[in-house]
Amino acid sequence: MTSILIVYTTLRGNTGKMVEPVAEGIRSEGVEARPMLVEDVTMADMTAADGIIVGSPTRFGGVDWQIKRLFDVVSHEGYPGPLEGKVGGAFTAGSRAGSGAELVLLNAIHVLLNHGMIVQGEPFGPHYGPVALREPTEEVLGYCRSWGARWARLAERLAASRSASGESPSR
């Protein structure tokens, strides 16, 4: 079964409130969603997943240091890379417009791409992932659901094409 890991941490609880709606969206497409606090995630959790979504509070122009630590210590021995070909995305809660929320998403995306992962943007909603300004509104929570579903569909499509072609996930 296709499975997406949601690695998150929260500062005042707002990012935490976005986790379950994202998970619901993923499950609505028949894909497994596994939310885990960043301090509990092991390398085995990362490699077992078909996709990894990062939930980080908005922290001084980048992801929370605990998130960065997790991706810094991923072992890179052997080909393909352990995270290569997985889908990846990010969501965040900041304080207000200009608080650096988008930079957190981009910093996360840069890290995920660096590991060889696959990222998709969104032309009409928030382009780089869900953003709450303080307490997530109903609109933001609803977007978290449709965004989660979007990732689940992409992960499913990539898994299907992989089996069809006999291709390894890393290609």
From the CB of 51, what's the least distance to its own copies, in Å?
13
Q: For strand 51-57 and strand 3-8, is the pairing parallel, antiparallel, or unpaired?
A: parallel
155's tokens: 């992960």
Residues 59-78 that bind its own copies (CB under 8 A): 59-66, 68-69, 71-72, 74, 76
- In a 3-state reduction of DSSP, which class is residue 58? coil
From the CB of 80, what's the least distance to its own copies, in Å?
7
From the CB of 20, what's the least distance to its own copies, in Å?
19
Report residue 69 CA to chain centroid gap: 16
From the CB of 83, what's the least distance to its own copies, in Å?
7
The H or E element that residue 105 is part of is: helix 101-114
From the CB of 120, what's the least distance to its own copies, in Å?
5
Contacts 24+ apart (CB under 8 A), 138-142: 140/18, 141/17, 141/18, 141/21, 142/21
Residues 74-133 that bind its own copies (CB under 8 A): 74, 76, 79-81, 83-85, 94, 96-103, 105-107, 109-133
With beta carbons less than 8 A apart as the criterion, state whether 52 and 91 touch. no
- Rounded to whole angstroms, the Cα distance separating 131 from 98 reads 12
With beta carbons less than 8 A apart as the criterion, state whether 86 and 49 touch. yes
169 binds its own copies (CB under 8 A): no
Residues 9-48 that bind its own copies (CB under 8 A): none
Give the binding-site size for its own copies (rule: CB under 8 A).
70
Binding site for its own copies (CB under 8 A): 59-66, 68-69, 71-72, 74, 76, 79-81, 83-85, 94, 96-103, 105-107, 109-133, 140, 150, 153-154, 157-158, 160-162, 164-165, 167, 171
